[in-house]
Amino acid sequence: MEFQAKDIAALLGGTVEGDPEATVSNVSKIEEGKPGTLAFLANPKYEHYIYTTGATIVLVNEDFKPLRPCPCTLVRVKSAYDAIATLLQMYESMKPKPVGIEQPSYVSESATLGENPYVGAFAYVGRDARIGNNVKIYPQAYVGDGVTVGDGTVIYAGVKVYAGCVIGKNCILHSGAVIGADGFGFVPEGDYYKKIPQIGNVVLEDNVEIGANTCVDRATMGATRICEGVKLDNLIQIAHNVVIGRNTVIAAQSGVAGTAKVGENCVFGGQVGIIGHLEIGDGTQIAAQSGITNNVAKGSVLRGSPAFDLPYYQKCYVVFRKLPELYSQLRDLQKEVKDLKAK
């Protein structure tokens, strides 16, 4: 499908600078731009590419001031990054979606499927499962007994949703995700460990996205809850009875231990670790590879392991990097003091 610059500008509420009838049918990165494609410039570090890009149309911010003529047509918008996200969402929504029940697959007679379902080959839908409208269950996915899946949710190939779990509307579960595996509950019994049955479930509220190979464990009792709008990256571990507040974003390889409560609108970098039974306040930001060992107040910005306030961490890190030099100076001073005492 082709789009002209003037149509893109009208859609995004932007203005055209150049040929309003310039036409594109695909997208590209600005550094790899080709004729007939749309690119965008949001990061100033990439500005030099706009003077040599082969892209036909480039989205730029309203306040962008080129240093020399650009070979492409510009569409000025309030935020180029937001604009390209809007266009890509539209492009994705226009792609054809699979419908129907492929064979071989298994759908229990007691399961209910809404309108326009897709169940891919070798998928399994268990007893009393309730599947909403326009749900897509891709091949080799497992939806256990009594699972509820809300309208518009996409469950990609190889996802496993254990019995009794609840998936909200418009969620996306990427390949290899496991929802509802047993929480890590054991009690010492002599030289062995006795398993504590995990009889709760997992609840994913609406508009949650779960990355590939991420695991969300079922609660010992009650529910492990991932609240509305949460986005979890790949390779994340969420333990039993954890609550992740609305619109929180967690990057890859992070782990949240049992019964921790994470607030709303938090942002965690990759490889963040949070020990169990803690409370993380709303709006907290935690830098990558940080370890959280105490409760965190609302709006905190933390780094380090164990983590502490970012400004103080940065001051400490300056000293840490100088430790070998400072240690050498200290040894010299000790030697001087020893020589002075000897005299």
Residue 220: closest CA among 245, 185, 193:
185
Token pair for residue 159? 């996802």
- Measured over the CA atoms of residue 121, residue 151, residue 167 and residue 155, the dihedral's sign is positive
Q: Strand 273-274 vs strand 291-292: parallel, antiparallel, or unpaired? A: parallel
Closest CA to 242 of 262, 221, 270: 262
Torsion of CA 296, 302, 304, 306, to 10 degrees: -10
Q: 340: which DSSP letter?
A: H
- CATH 2.160.10.10 fits domain 100-312: yes
Q: Answer yes or no: CATH 3.40.1390.10 is held by domain 3-94.
A: yes
- What is the rounded distance in angstroms from the CA atom of residue 67 to the CA atom of residue 71? 12
pLDDT of residue 145: 98
The pLDDT value recorded for residue 171 is 98
Alpha-carbon distance of 239 to 249, in angstroms, equals 16
224 bridge partner residues: 202
User: Tell me, what's the pLDDT at 320?
Assistant: 82
Report how far apart, in Å, the C-alpha atoms of 338 and of each of 183, 281, 325 are.
60, 52, 20
Sign of the torsion angle spanned by Cα atoms 76, 78, 82, 88: negative
Assess contact for 230 and 263: CB atoms under 8 A: no
Distance, in Å, from the CA atom of 10 to the CA atom of 200, rounded to the nearest integer, reads 50
Do domains 3-94 and 100-312 share one topology? The answer is no
246: amino acid identity, one letter:
R
**pLDDT given for residue 90 in this prediction:** 86
Tokens representing residue 96 in the block: 């054809």
CA 287/CA 153 separation, integer angstroms = 31
Q: Which residues of the chain, if any, have pLDDT below 70?
A: none
pTM above 0.85, yes or no: yes
Structure token digits, residue 111: 């399961």
Exposed/middle/buried for residue 227 (C-beta within 10 Å: 0-12, 13-18, 19+): buried
Contacts with 256 (C-beta within 8 Å, 6 or more apart), sequence order: 237, 238, 239, 242, 244, 250, 262, 274
Task: State the pLDDT at residue 316.
Answer: 84
Burial degree of 294 (CB within 10 A; 0-12, 13-18, 19+):
exposed
Q: How many CB atoms lie within 10 A of CB 328?
A: 10
pLDDT of residue 339: 86
The confidence score (pLDDT) of residue 314 equals 86
Residues designated as active site: 240
The span from the CA of 152 to the CA of 29, in Å, is: 30
In angstroms, the CA 302 to CA 293 distance is 12
Domain spans of the chain?
3-94, 100-312
